[in-house]
Amino acid sequence: MNITKVKKAAYKLQRSIPGRAGICLLMTGFCLSISAQHLTQNIRGTVTDKASGIPIAYATIQLEDAPDRGAITDSIGNFVLKGISLGRHNVKATFIGYEPSLIREVLVSSAKEVFLEIAMTENAQELNEVVVRPQVNKEQALNKMALTGARMFSVEEASRYAGGMDDPARLASSFAGISSGVSHNGISIHGNAPHLLQWRLEDIEIPNPNHYADIATLGGGILSSLSNHVLGNSDFFTGAFPAEYGNAVSGVFDMKLRNGNNRKVENTIQAGILGIDVASEGPLSKKHNSSYIVNYRYSATGLLAHLNMVDLGGAFDYQDLNFKFNFPTRRLGTFSIWGTSLIDKYGSDLEKDISKWEYLGDGSDSKTDQYMAAGGISHRYFIGENGLLKTTIATTYFKSTASIDMFDTDLNSTPYLDMSRENTNLVFTTSYNHKFSARFTNKTGASFTQMFYDMKMNLAPFVATPLDVISMGDGSTSLFSAYTSNSIDIGNNFTLNLGLNTQVLTLNKHWTLEPRIGMKWQATAKTSFALAYGLHSRMEKMDVYYTQTPQTGDKLVNKDLDFTKANHFMLTFDYKISDDMLLKIEPYFQTLFDVPVRADDSYSVLNREDFYVEDALVNKGKGRNIGVDVTLEKYLSRGYYYMFTGSLFDSRYCGGDKVWHNTKFNRHYILNLLGGKEWMMGHNKQNILSVNAKLTLQGGDRYSPIDEAATMEHPDKEVQYDETKAYSRQFSPIFLTNFSVSYKINKKKCTHEFAVKLLNATNYKEYGGHEYNIKTGKIEVNRFAMSLPNIYYKVEF
């Protein structure tokens, strides 16, 4: 069944995004006095051993541009650099027996102290052979076991890069191998569908953390619910990821929440077109170094609609909450309580003037409510001098209700869609990381997830016909996984990582055993090669296992589905052109098998975008992705930066028809050019003007040819496609532009920022399927232009 009518509600929702309101909420009255005083701020942080996580005492911390400004870490690895001038600085950490570590272009402002987490790598070489070139934080993932296909995600970059929109998912589209969306932030890696990515927070897999998740595209949403005010630096994986990551096929977004300032209270208020943000952090007890950080956001349009200040033709109403409480102890380790949650509500207004109806979907009335939450208690405990035990007990929750009523010309309604899904997971995960020597580290862990579910999903085959049950079930099942991963330095320049992951789904007793291996050769001080292989797998969403069809009654036709599996091969070549420029080339090859498909046609979950499945599936599908990613990056220095990423690839799949087709996401190429410039301005050069831009050129959207005869015979004139030639056609290339301009004013103990950020500045019209025009009697291409603006004012104090 074509789902144009279902998607119509999604695009209605997208078009109601706050740009229509044209309203910017500006907050004034904070810190308005002008001061000629030369302002300074503190840089604080902690230094740890990267392999074990153990704090490093008595390490030396210096500013590269002011070597006389230094500090020494205390007995638990903490340091403070006091009275640092505002602007950008490079912070360097050194310690005997360790490779120097360099944190580049740390932004110091007047309102908030800067907190850095510096991880250092012990040098296993002989002293007379020590390489003195420091490790730059941007050149490597946070996870020591990742040798290829990994990128450290910086929150500061998410705020700065054009097109990032303070959204980690949209920032990822700047990385090589990732295709850009306009109306959604779904992450398609190397031609894979967005739903094959795993979202992870604080070592736990969480439900899709995006507002209006899975509506425009499965696996994505419109805007992230995770605020950059509380996120810390994280890892993003595009292939052949380490053994600790299971239940993912295309990639992993491994996100962390940062700890709040444990010395003083710091606050942020931001108001703009997209919403109102309030964040606060500070000490709970200075004596025990405990802290809190919390952020709450409410959509501006939702607030205005509740106040009856604006009519949006349907309420676009969302809010989210993120928090973390950190409790270090002297003998019992460190405890943290963390959480994230969102609430989304949308209701469309029926156009009652039927003379304005052009498409069948215009005579619909829809409503969507979604709730997501994840939270837990985490514990870190150091065992001896080289062991770290991490344990987390968490729960995740997702609930979605959706309904669509269709109206005839007499405005009589019949239900077309009525769905309710509720999933609650209880999760226990633990890992033990032990550094046996400078050359050998092992990390072993296990995770147990008890999944509770309750779903009832109904869909009418045609307008004005009774609803059919397409998925129904309630109960619980379990997913168990375990892994071990080893990092071994062989000689002075060669690293070998070996790992194994296994997982079992008790619902149908399917299980996997997945080897992982990675090798890295540091050929010279500037050049390295890395090669990795991994077998990866992912289960389906729970409602897929409980699919029912009208032909089979209440029989669960998909309950015995196996995991979708993939072999990943990736090679990485790194060349350090200069101290602030890196060239990275990554060829890759991915084969997928045991992919759920329909038995006799071209349908495959590798192209799945919809939030439901209504057909019986079998694990007989295949897939193949091959390509090369290229990144040329000049880090921010001397006030400017730029990055070029290019991807050439081919993404194919084989369905139940045993014919190889293009995948829906096979764009063939993606080119990104982004950059920016900062100027220090104002009295004492303490204010910052920042201008950033991003240009994207990528292959056009793919679609299947229209079967006009079948469309005209359909009772609803719902567009039918020739699935024997699935995704064989492609629209013209897509050119996207994004830009941002911000001005930051530093005052004593507070900072103001005014910013304008615009996504899709050229107003590109995204493909939204084909639709039958009831006025003209013709099948038309549906395109939606969505420029997502955010004009905001932010004050930190």
DSSP string of 524-580, one letter each residue = SSSEEEEEEEEEEEEPPPHHHHTB--TTTTT--TTTTPPPEEEEEEEEEEEEEEETT
Q: Which of the two residues, 221 and 30, has the higher pLDDT score? A: 221
Question: What percentage of the chain's residues is helix, strand, coil (to nearest 5)?
Answer: 10, 55, 35
- For residue 69, name the pLDDT band (cuts at 50, 70, 90): confident
Written in H, E and C, the secondary structure of 735-775 is EEEEEEEEEEEEECCEEEEEEEEEECCCCCEEEEEEEEECC
Task: State how far the Cα of 502 lies from the Cα of 515, in Å rounded to an integer.
Answer: 9
Q: Which of 77, 107, 140 is the last residue of a domain?
A: 140
Per-residue DSSP letters for 410-445? T--EEEEEEEEEEEEEEEEEEEEEEEEETTEEEEEE
Q: Does 187 lie in the same domain as 107?
A: no
Verify that 226 and 94 share a domain, yes or no.
Answer: no
In this structure, the answer to whether residues 60 and 196 fall within a common structural domain is: no
Tokens, residue 174 = 């700047």
Residues 270 and 323 in one domain: yes
Give the N- to C-terminal CA distance of the chain in Å, as an integer: 54
Q: Which residues lie across from 489 on neighbouring strands?
A: 495
Give the whole-angstrom CA distance, residue 512 versus residue 500. 10
The answer to whether position 543 is within a domain reads: yes
**Closest residue by Cα to residue 268 from 233, 295, 301, 303:** 295
In a domain, 573, yes or no: yes
Closest by alpha carbon to 606, among 665, 650, 547?
665
Residue 241 near residue 497, CB atoms below 8 Å? no
Residue 181 has what pLDDT?
Answer: 80
Burial 603-639 (b: 16+ CB within 10 A, else e): bbbbbbbbbbbbbbbbbbbbbbbbbebbbbbbbbeee
Residues 602, 476 share a domain: yes
Q: How far apart are CA 486 and CA 497, in angstroms?
A: 5
Note whether residue 154 is domain-resident: no
Q: Any idea which residue has 């028809």 for tokens?
A: 657
pLDDT at residue 9 above 90? no
Q: Which residue has the higher pLDDT, 6 or 94?
A: 94
DSSP 721: B
Q: Note whether 328 and 245 are same-domain residues.
A: yes
Q: Quick one: average pLDDT of 493-502?
A: 96
pLDDT of residue 393: 98
The CA distance from 17 to 313, in Å, is 11
Identify the band that residue 308 occupies on the pLDDT scale cut at 50, 70 and 90. Answer: low
Using CA atoms, how far apart are residues 151 and 130, in angstroms rounded to an integer? 26
Q: What are the b/e assignments for 171-202, b being 16+ CB within 10 Å?
A: bbbbbbbbbbbbbbbbbbbbbbbbbbbbbbbb
Q: CA-CA distance, 622 to 269, in Å (whole number)?
A: 49
Comparing CA positions, the residue from 145, 143, 51 lying closest to residue 499 is 145
What is residue 261's DSSP assignment? P
Q: Report which of residues 135 and 793 the model is more confident about.
A: 793
Q: Which of 609, 645, 643, 642 is nearest to 627 (CA)?
A: 645
- Work out the pLDDT band at 165, boundaries 50, 70, 90: confident
Q: How many CB atoms lie within 10 A of CB 682?
A: 15
CB atoms within 10 A of CB 543: 22
How many residues belong to the chain? 797
Q: What pLDDT, on the 0 to 100 scale, is given for residue 22?
A: 38
State how far the alpha carbon of 318 is from the alpha carbons of 13, 306, 564, in Å. 12, 12, 33
- Residue 6 confidence (pLDDT): 43
Domain for residue 284, yes or no? yes
Q: In b/e form, how buried is each residue of 297-316, taking b as 16+ CB within 10 angstroms?
A: bbbbbbbbbeeeeeebebbb
- Residue 135: what pLDDT? 64
Confirm if 530 and 518 have CB atoms less than 8 A apart. yes
Asked if 74 contacts 55 with a C-beta cutoff of 8 angstroms, the reply is no
Is there a single domain that holds both residue 51 and residue 198? no
Rg of the chain in Å (alpha carbons):
26
- pLDDT score at 306: 58
Same domain as 136, residue 50: yes
What tokens does 510 get?
């399917």
In terms of domains, do 197 and 103 share one?
no
- Domain of 698, CATH number, reads 2.40.170.20
Using the predicted structure, report yes or no on whether residue 19 has a pLDDT greater than 60.
no
pLDDT of residue 1: 45
* Contact call for residues 647 and 189 (beta carbons, < 8 A): no
Residues linked to residue 676 through DSSP beta bridges, in sequence order: 641, 692
Residues 115, 173: one domain? no
| Confidence (pLDDT) at 14 | 44
pLDDT in tens, 548-596: 999 888 899 999 999 999 999 999 999 999 989 999 999 999 999 999 9
Q: Which two tokens stand for residue 714?
A: 């359909």
**Total of domains in the chain:** 2
pLDDT of residue 684: 83
**CA gap 207, 197 in Å, rounded:** 11
Residue ranges of E strands in 357-412: 364-383, 387-407
- The answer to whether residues 221 and 85 belong to one domain is no
Would you call 664 exposed, middle or buried from its count of C-beta atoms within 10 A (0-12, 13-18, 19+)? Answer: buried
User: What pLDDT sits at residue 35?
Assistant: 43
Average confidence (pLDDT) over 665-673: 97
Q: Which domain, by its residues, includes 207?
A: 4-25+160-796
Question: What is the model's pLDDT at position 795?
Answer: 96
- Write out the H or E segment, with its range, that includes residue 158: helix 155-160
For residue 31, is it within any domain? no
Q: What is the pLDDT of residue 15?
A: 45
**How much is the pLDDT for 652?**
98
Is residue 176, in this structure, part of any structural domain at all?
yes
685 has which bridge partners? none
| Structure confidence at residue 533 (pLDDT) | 98
Q: What is the pLDDT of residues 705-746, one digit of tens each?
A: 999 999 999 999 999 999 999 999 999 999 999 999 999 999
Task: Identify the CA nearest to 196 among candidates 504, 605, 508.
Answer: 605
**Domain CATH number, residue 96:** 2.60.40.1120
Strand ranges in 171-288 using DSSP code E only, listed in sequence order: 178-179, 188-189, 197-201, 204-205, 210-211, 223-224, 231-237, 251-257, 266-272, 276-285
Longest CA span, the chain: 88
Q: Is residue 633 part of a domain?
A: yes
More confidently predicted of 460 and 66? 460
Report pLDDT digits (tens) over 232-244: 989 999 999 999 9
The residue from 140, 173, 190 where one domain ends is 140
Question: What does the pLDDT look like over 359-408, one tens digit per residue?
Answer: 988 899 999 999 999 999 999 999 998 999 999 999 999 999 999 999 98
Residue 222 has pLDDT above 70, yes or no: yes
Please answer whether residues 328 and 291 qualify as being in contact, where contact means their C-beta atoms are separated by less than 8 angstroms.
no
Closest Cα to residue 314, out of 329, 302, 322? 302
> How far are the Cα atoms of 23, 308, 314, 417, 582 from residue 304, in angstroms, in the given order?
10, 6, 12, 29, 47
Report which of residues 309 and 104 the model is more confident about: 104
Q: How far apart are CA 730 and CA 705, in angstroms?
A: 10
Query: Are residue 92 and residue 190 in the same domain, yes or no?
Result: no
If you average pLDDT over each of 61-75, 134-148, 308-322, 652-666, which comes out highest?
652-666
Nearest to 615 by CA among 606, 624, 607, 604: 604
* Average pLDDT rounded to a whole number, residues 772-777: 92
Percentage, residues of the chain above pLDDT 70? 92
pLDDT per position as a tens digit, 263-293? 999 999 999 988 899 999 999 998 889 999 9
Q: Which neighbouring-strand residues pair with 672?
A: 645, 696
Share of the chain above pLDDT 90, in %: 75
Residue 203's φ and ψ, nearest 5 degrees, are 75, 10
Q: If pLDDT is split at 50, 70 and 90, which confidence band does 28 have?
A: very low
Region 506-524: what's the mean pLDDT?
A: 97
What one-character DSSP code corresponds to residue 212?
T
Q: How many CA atoms lie within 13 A of 579 on its CB side?
A: 11
CA distances for 159 relative to 91, 128, 488, 656, 744, angstroms = 20, 42, 36, 44, 13
Q: Which pair of tokens denotes residue 2?
A: 């074509």
pLDDT of residue 615: 93
CA atoms within 13 A on the CB side of 713: 6
Q: Is residue 153 part of a domain?
A: no
Dihedral angle computed from the Cα positions of residues 152, 154, 157 and 158, in that order, rounded to the nearest 10 degrees: 110
**Count helices and strands in the chain by DSSP H and E runs:** 6, 44
Among residues 81, 112, 140, which one ends one of the domains?
A: 140
Please give the Cα distance from 611 to 357 (Å, whole number). Answer: 26
